[in-house]
Structure 1
Amino acid sequence: MKSILVAAAVALVISILFTPYLIRIFSKQGFGQEIREEVQKSHAAKRGTPTMGGMAILVAMWAGYLITHLTVAEEGPTVSGLLVLGLTTALGIVGFLDDFIKIRKQRNLGLNKTAKLVGQLVAAVLFAILAMRFPDDNGITPASEHLSFIRDISIVSFGAIGFVIFAYVAISGWSNAVNFTDGMDGLAGGTAAMVLATYVLISFWQLRYDCTGGGGSGPACYTVRDPLDIAIVAAAAMSACIGFLWWNAAPAKIFMGDTGSLALGGLVAGLSMVTRTELLMIIIGGLFVVEALSVVLQIVVFRSTRRRLFRMAPFHHHFELAGWAETTVIIRFWVLAGISCLFGVGLFYADWLSLYGG
């Protein structure tokens, strides 16, 4: 428990203190955000706001993790923790390149779709291959070939190649979903902090009732390779988002950019796989799912009927164009995100309770 608290505290302090440094540097360099044409009227004042603030989240997350292991953690970094951090960083680099091109070319389009998908593909394939290796003394690898909800679903197995394909779809899907959500001050950061807080609870509970670590036995225990280290990663990332949110809340002094949104999407995808909760993540990250679905539905309906289902996609812009104040949209969407997280935790606990009681 001490390790989790230290990781959270260190990441929070570093994120709060490092972000204004980035604001000053990026402002001097002219690293300002370009605004989509569709929302230039309502977001005109945001043009030129420093972007690529996701760097602060990545730095704070890594610092919280490493300092914890150098000080209070009884064991060193684990394969599961490093793989999730590596995936997050790799997608952050893809996002950084996307942001940098936008800034240099003074447009709202960075990497083309092919380049972005290739970057996500490389990161996902490396993660998937490595996650199926490095078994511990009990033969447990960081990820499983089985599809999972709250635990592995034994009757649904992808096989090695199938898992790599699944990992790519999941990682690409989640990174794009968080990217779509990042359209208003603090919306993606606040939602990500709630999702990550949920995973601190889930991974800590898995540690407490770990089948192989002496914390539990019977059908209610969990077969996860490194639950404590996963909790440390989630705690550090959660606090990094909260610290960044201090400067990103409306009116934002800096945006996370694709550097942050793609990284956070990869992070939640990685956490879902190493905790064996891939389908549960769809519920916990429900707001991200709705935002992504709104974009897909908008495209499908428009191509089929030449009419728009929403005033604008992603979904949050629909309400903004309908007359809602930006802060109203953000707060109400945060409420929805919180409800999704609570519902996910409730399902997780109900599963444990039903098996423990049985």
Structure 2
Amino acid sequence: MRAVLVAGAVSLVVALFGTPLYIRWLVRRGYGQFVRDDGPTSHHTKRGTPTMGGAVIILGALLAYGAAHLFTGTPVTASGLLVLLLMTGLGVVGFLDDFLKISRKQSLGLRARSKLIGQGLVGVAFAALALQFPDEDGLTPASMHVSFLRDVDFLDLAFAGAALGTVLFVLWALFITSAISNGVNLTDGLDGLATGATTLVLAAYVLICTFQSNQNCNTLTEFEARCYEVRDPRDLAVVAAAVMGACFGFLWWNASPAKIFMGDTGSLALGGALAGLAILSRTQLLLVVLGGLFVIITLSVVIQVGSFKTTGKRVFRMAPLQHHFELAGWGEVTIVIRFWIIAGLFVSLGLGVFYAQWVVGA
């Protein structure tokens, strides 16, 4: 547990005190946000606000993870490093997108195809590596099962053989990674909205992975039927705490009125961290509940685009959903707080379902 506390504390300090230094550096370089002209007019005042702040979150999490293991003298694990690899890799893709926006002085960065290819390469590398590195019991960081609260036996992706099973797992993991990273990216439209919502989900994973560690099949002496077959649950909790602490520190400067935006650097990285935690903790479908706010916002875009292409009419005044309420006259802070409440309710529901399943032993 000490490693979890150290990771959260170190990343909080790094992000809290490192972000203003990074802001000053970005201002000197003229790296400011460009705002869409077709968006809410209230956003025009944000033009020029420093962006690419996600780099601080990534750096803070990496330093905190290393510090936690150095302080406690425990070795790093394959699972922890894989989640950090996915987070950092997607952060690099987002950084390239943000940098192109700045250098071209417009709100368009990487082309959609290039962005998807970058996300795909990182996701495939993560998925392929996650099936490697078995421990002494033969347990790998990921398994070729679809999971909800734990692996679902009858949803075995390897049913057609090892080779096809590997391909199916990679495609499944790639879908999860792309879906959640783009979901967080779509949510990142108002000051502090995505940062705060992601922090809540990360807090849930600190609790879930810590609980899995205490009820792990390798150490549990009672309630064996309810134990969790997760390779490195305690280290996954350390990673979740490291990223959560960095988000807390960054939110101090990202809350309205934001002094810095996380940009695609942060949103893609945070989505990658959530996806990695869900896949390696065997809670893939539970993430749909925990990240319910991201799902709703993503669906608002899907509905808007689908409706316009099929009927020529828009369901919302603007998508993603948070901008619909902006155009309806809601204040930005009001929207952010109410959406945080919704995110918190989804997280509470997800944690309740997770714990209830263990209690009943089903």
Whether the TM-score (by the shorter chain) exceeds 0.5 is yes
Extract unaligned runs of 5+ from structure 2.
158-164
In 2: Cα distance, 1:340 partner to 1:122 partner:
31
Report the equivalent of 1:200.
206
Deviation readout 1:109-159 (Å, 9 max, x if unpaired) = 100011101101100110011000111111111011100000100000122
Partners of 1:196 and 1:237 within 8 A in 2: yes
Amino acid at match of 1:42: S
Report the equivalent of 2:162.
none
In 2: Cα distance, 1:339 partner to 1:258 partner:
26
Amino acid at match of 1:31: Y
What's the CA shift for 1:217? 4.5
In 2: Cα distance, 1:86 partner to 1:133 partner:
14
Q: How does 1:29-40 map to 2 (within 5 A)?
A: 29-40=29-40
What's the CA shift for 1:75? 2.1
Picking from 180, 183, 189, the partner of 2:186 is 180
In 2: Cα distance, 1:147 partner to 1:287 partner:
22
Identity percentage of aligned residues: 53
Assess, with a 3 A threshold, how the Cα gap between structure 1 residues 230 and 216 changes in structure 2: closer, same or farther. farther
- After the TM superposition, which parts of structure 1 deviate over 2 Å for at least 4 consecutive aligned residues? 213-217
**Secondary structure of residue in 1 paired with 2:39:** helix
Partners of 1:171 and 1:269 within 8 A in 2: yes
Amino acid at match of 1:316: Q
In 2: Cα distance, 1:69 partner to 1:35 partner:
41
Higher mean alpha-carbon deviation, 158-167 vs 325-334, is at 158-167
**Secondary structure of residue in 2 paired with 1:241:** helix
Partners of 2:220 and 2:227 within 8 A in 1: no
Partners of 2:19 and 2:56 within 8 A in 1: yes
Extract unaligned runs of 5+ from structure 1.
none
What's the CA shift for 1:265? 0.6
Report the equivalent of 1:81.
80
**Secondary structure of residue in 1 paired with 2:38:** helix
Report the equivalent of 2:259.
253
1:310 and 2:310 aligned: no
Report the equivalent of 2:354.
348
In 1: Cα distance, 2:120 partner to 2:151 partner:
24
Picking from 301, 316, 338, the partner of 2:307 is 301
What's the CA shift for 1:4? 0.5
Partners of 2:100 and 2:110 within 8 A in 1: yes
Amino acid at match of 2:234: L
Query: How many residue pairs get matched?
Result: 355
Assess, with a 3 A threshold, how the Cα gap between structure 1 residues 4 and 216 changes in structure 2: closer, same or farther. farther
What do you get for the CA RMSD once the two structures are aligned? 0.9
Partners of 1:34 and 1:106 within 8 A in 2: yes
In 2: Cα distance, 1:213 partner to 1:93 partner:
38
Q: How does 1:12-161 map to 2 (within 5 A)?
A: 12-72=12-72, 74-158=73-157, 159-161=165-167
Assess, with a 3 A threshold, how the Cα gap between structure 1 residues 215 and 275 changes in structure 2: closer, same or farther. farther
